[in-house]
A and B are shown apart, each in its own frame.
Chain A
Amino acid sequence: GAGVSQTPSNKVTEKGKYVELRCDPISGHTALYWYRQSLGQGPEFLIYFQGTGAADDSGLPNDRFFAVRPEGSVSTLKIQRTERGDSAVYLCASSPGALTNYGYTFGSGTRLTVV
């Protein structure tokens, strides 16, 4: 696609539920990133994919968070047993390759609210 597409744009879920957030990167971009932006803060790195594999998942806060990119394009961020502290905007970004001197192109984000 022309830009990075994220769905849903908003998600409200109850504490303890499971959620999936989807990211469709720019066509042809091999590198995909998930960042989390809490209220009043800048984005914080969660995970980086190069192709189908997670090259760096060091930013995932705990084992309730997991992300996949099975065909090297669309990625899904999965959060199990959601907690109120998981409420944030989850941003996805992509770039042509791992050499991201030009930065990333971000999507509009999914605003997750856990009640």
Chain B
Amino acid sequence: GQQLNQSPQSMFIQEGEDVSMNCTSSSIFNTWLWYKQDPGEGPVLLIALYKAGELTSNGRLTAQFGITRKDSFLNISASIPSDVGIYFCAGQGASGTYKYIFGTGTRLKVLA
């Protein structure tokens, strides 16, 4: 099935560093979501974006809805060990309000 392309696939960073990741699509989306998944758990919603150019924050997390509507970005500032996990983007197109297409994930490991 279709999956969005996320970059990087994985990253190791030191505690306290900032993290950036992105997600790209060949299709235009109306909604972008960012989820985090811990081992053995389902994805948990972090941030939702609804408008091109929109910048939204949730604590140390900031996400942006790309101007082209084909990409989105997630930044984590001052990373801490509990930020470890897999981050997924998900996009929702105009064709349906219920179906999301997920990215391949960015695996984040934080070194204390």
Chain A contacts to B: CB under 8 angstroms = 4, 31, 33, 35, 40-45, 48, 50, 55-56, 59, 91, 93, 95, 98-109
Contacts and interface: CB of A to CB of B under 8 A. Distances in A.
Contacts of A103: 33, 35, 45, 48, 90, 100
Contacts of B92: 100-101
Nearest to A42: B102
* Chain B contact patch, size range: 20 to 34
Nearest to B1: A44
B99 A108 contact: no
B98 A98 contact: yes
Contacts of B44: 106
B3 interface: yes
Contacts of B66: none
A33 B98 contact: yes
Contacts of B50: 101
B104 interface: yes
Given A50-B98, A108-B42, 13 more contacts: A4-B42, A31-B98, A35-B102, A42-B90, A43-B88, A44-B102, A56-B96, A91-B42, A100-B97, A100-B98, A101-B92, A103-B35, A106-B43
B3 A42 contact: yes
